[in-house]
Amino acid sequence: MTHRKRIALSLPAPSGSVQDTIELAQQAEAAGYDDLWLADAGGLDALTLVPILLEHTSRVRVGIAVVPIYTRTPAVLASTFAVIAQAYPGRFIPGLGTSSHAIIERWHGLNFEKPLTRTKETVALLRSMLAGEKTRFSGDTLTSNGYVQAPTEPALPIYLAGLRPKMVETAAEIGDGVILNLFPRSALPKIMAHVATGAERAGKTAQQIEVVCRQMVAVTDDKAQARQAFRASFVSYYATPVYNKFLDWCGFPDAAREIREGWAAKDRERTAAALPDDLIDEIAVIGDAPECQQIIRECADGGIHTNIIACMYPSPDILSATTGAFQAGQFDW
């Protein structure tokens, strides 16, 4: 199966309101967006919101990028996924990821241990449960015995997030799609090579793996303000061990080290300055509508099938300009 190019909108609405999110979802569907994608990092619970959005729309797919694998057991995930898949067949894409130390350990008080193993064991258990098999599983990070539920048919696709080589390859090997995030675009060819390696390991081609990415976009004439908004929102991401190592691996070791050291010293000014404008311009999509549209086209040509437009600086005018730039009639491939 070769996946087509898709344009998606990231939700929830900036207000965090369920009603506003429903209305934005309906507007996006009417504007020709292919998908709606949620995060699941606190606030509005994505697995509660997905069926609400599916019920209030008729055509779009609704996905999650990502559900943290540590915060719900495989049995909870399997039973939840089964309900949504039965009620809205073919329109739900669950995406799983390890999340980060900050979210798993600080927010949830859980141990962020053996992320690669935990991902593999979660997927193995999920696929078994969704197939209707009684569990008899004892792994390094998970165990389950005697759990059974009705099979979900057709089989539900499971997408997996990856950053560095091992996780990207694992996502392509055992997942139906790979979810990328916050990478400098110069690293995309290297990332895609690992998608191909993982796919081949499972006897698949890279073309059979849908690649999804949430793009931080601001359609604006004030690039400096948008860069500052990105810096304020995301420098803390690159201070976490997972994203800091990722930035280093992508080819920016000096920036990674400066962010890491500035953060450790609690020097917020130094940390922010370590994310320079030229690096932000490699990660975020900032500019007028034609500039932003061209960057998204280049990402699609580089292998990203589903580009999720996330307005990173959602003042009403920039939100309107950003979502409008990618609606049907304004944007094409």
Reported confidence tier of residue 200, pLDDT bands at 50, 70, 90: very high
Separation in Å, CA 164 to CA 32, 167, 247: 33, 6, 9
Reported confidence tier of residue 43, pLDDT bands at 50, 70, 90: confident
Report the CATH number of the 6-224+285-325 domain.
3.20.20.30
**Quick check: 2 pLDDT over 80?**
no
Domains of the chain by residue range: 6-224+285-325
pTM (two decimals):
0.96
* pLDDT at site 214: 98
**pLDDT above 70 covers what percent of the chain?**
100
Q: Around Cβ 148, how many Cβ atoms within 10 Å?
A: 12
Q: Which two tokens stand for residue 259?
A: 């962010």
Reported confidence tier of residue 267, pLDDT bands at 50, 70, 90: very high
**Quick check: 103 pLDDT over 90?**
no
Separation in Å, CA 321 to CA 39, 131, 136, 292, 325: 22, 44, 52, 11, 6
* pLDDT at site 290: 98
- Give which of 320, 258, 243 is closest to 289, Cα–Cα: 320
* pLDDT at site 99: 87
**Quick check: 314 pLDDT over 80?**
no
Helix (H) or strand (E) holding 245: helix 241-249
* pLDDT at site 31: 98
Instruction: Give the pLDDT confidence of 315-333 residue by residue, as tens digits.
Output: 899 999 999 999 999 999 9
| d(C-alpha 43, C-alpha 230), whole Å | 20
| d(C-alpha 286, C-alpha 224), whole Å | 9
Mean pLDDT of 52-58: 98
Instruction: Give the pLDDT confidence of 143-164 residue by residue, as tens digits.
Output: 999 999 999 999 999 999 999 9
**Quick check: 120 pLDDT over 90?**
yes
Mean pLDDT of 6-23: 96
The pair phi, psi for residue 160, each rounded to 5°, is: -130, 140
